[in-house]
Structure 1
Amino acid sequence: MSQLIPSIKVLNLNIPTPTGNSPIHPVLLHDEDGYTLVDTGMIGQFAELQATLEELNVPLAEIKRVIITHQDIDHIGNLGALLDAIQGLEVWAHADEIPYLTGAKPLIKFTPERRAMLPAPVLALADQLLMQLPEINIDRTLADGDILPLQGGIQVIHTPGHTPGHLCLYLGEQQLLLAADELRVVDDELVGPAPPATPDMPEALRSLKKLTSLKMDKVLCYHGGEFIQEPEKRIAELSEKSEA
């Protein structure tokens, strides 16, 4: 866990892989009315998520809402468990993700091949989550350009490509971009979305242009963590390369 400012904490959860742990980074925001969790971690990580929150002295009951940046199972993996544990928890997501989050359409990337990669206990939890999806209510539908009443105003940026309703969140007062999977940090360098996990790569690359006008000191990527070395310049470079 790291702290960007006192009201913004970056969680560090680990997905076991054949080559070691792969860290992912949900974000916890603290405002006057309680906490907002941006993404929920991978299926099977609820105990780790809960332990991390306990280390921060954050009772589950004080989490008021979850913002889902997109439908991938390492982002929605603990959504069902959180809804079971927290009465009145709100779920916010982009309109284009709602059919997937509510089970009306199958998750785009949870293919038979992806299922076969999961250990049996995790697969059982995944199937449990899929059964829960039709019961999930989306309390706030997010749209490009929305300003959320959190952290002095968070701008919603619709960045489709990685999934249809993928979101980045821009915290203007802090000049911080929560990039979800639109950007990654790989070997200390900021790079674009992972091609194997991005069904519409041309659209995802076009989405980068939406980020080039933002003033920022720091980018937080779900995969790779923080990037602070002239992020505006680097995003401009990535956007220019995508147009070449």
Structure 2
Amino acid sequence: MEIVELSISFEFNGTTNVIYPSLIVSENELALVDTGYPGFLPLIESEIARNGYDAKNLTHIIITHYDDDHIGSLYDFKAKYPWIRIIASEQEARFISGESKAERLIQAENLLQHLPEEQQAFGKWFIQQLKSLKHVPVDHVVRDGDMLFSNQCKIIATPGHTSGHISLYVPELNSVITGDAAVNDNGQLVVANPHYCLDLEKAEQSLRTIISLHAAHYYCYHGGKLG
């Protein structure tokens, strides 16, 4: 088994940003963890190819949680590669499929009422961004402790950033794929966007859970690989 860090560079508000989805490679599976913003399908396809793989061979997409930068291109992947099986936690699956209104959207709508005038335009844009995300049925719902890919990859419940956030632990590689449960901030694992965590106390506990694994490698969606 192998984990490949994908580096996706893009421009936003005049600055260059980078996100780091992960590719899990095993004997019979090729799994993408998170799909970037809407419109990122070609960027991710190119980065997968640059690393010697082909997106048409993807078997699974694992979604760590419902945020526009993690599920934005999920619908496009499923439309182009309909055989891909979508994996998410029970809580997040409700939002991804459209069964329930996303808690991130509810949060954004509530925050808009309290934003200062100079931030109102961005707040409204963000709400529209969330509303425009297309729903996709989830094929496989997972819970804390579940094992994937011939028992090589363990699901770790890491709530806080969102209620159903999951991370992935690969004991064979002594590696964790953190999603937004942890970001690499100048070589330190920290909570992602504390002000936007739906439950900061749980987010801090989830960070402690991840750190307690003492993994050799942490694959952070924001900040890149640590270790």
Q: Under TM normalisation by the shorter chain, which class is it?
A: 0.7 to 0.9
Q: How does 1:78-97 map to 2 (within 5 A)?
A: 78-97=73-92
Q: Distance in 2 between matches of 1:226 and 1:77?
A: 22
Which residue number corresponds to residue 164 of structure 2?
A: 165
Aligned partner of 1:148 in structure 2 is 148
Contact 1:181-1:223 at 8 Å conserved across structures: yes
Report SS of the residue matched to 1:137. Answer: coil
Report 1 or 2 for greater relative contact order, CA contacts < 8 Å, sequence distance ≥ 6.
2
Query: Where does 1:17-32 land on structure 2 (aligned, <5 Å)?
Result: 17-18=12-13, 20-32=15-27
| Contact 1:68 1:76 survives alignment (8 Å) | yes
Cα deviation for residue 157 of structure 1 reads 0.6
Tell me the alpha carbon deviations over residues 64-123 of structure 1, each in whole angstroms, 9 at most, x when there is no partner.
Answer: 1100000011000110000010021100000011111111222322435599539x8x99
Query: 2:121 and 2:95 mapped to 1: Cα distance?
Result: 20
Alignment of 1:1-244 (within 5 A): 7-18=2-13, 20-110=15-105, 111=108, 116-117=121-122, 130=133, 132-133=134-135, 136-149=136-149, 153-228=152-227
> Structure 1's 57 and 187: CA in aligned 2 closer, same or farther, altered over 3 A?
closer
Structure 1 unaligned regions, length at least 5? 1-5, 229-244
- How many Å separate the matches in 2 of 1:79 and 1:49? 11
Letter in 2 for 1:99: R
**Aligned AA (1:21):** T
* Percent pairwise identity: 27
Q: Could you tell me how far apart the structure 1 residues matched to 2:91 and 2:21 are?
A: 21
Shift of 1:124: 8.5
Distance 1:210 1:81 in 2: 33
Distance 1:155 1:137 in 2: 22
1:232 paired residue number: none
Mind listing any 5+ residue stretches in structure 2 that lack a counterpart? Answer: 113-118
| Distance in 2, Cα, partners of 1:98 & 1:41 | 17
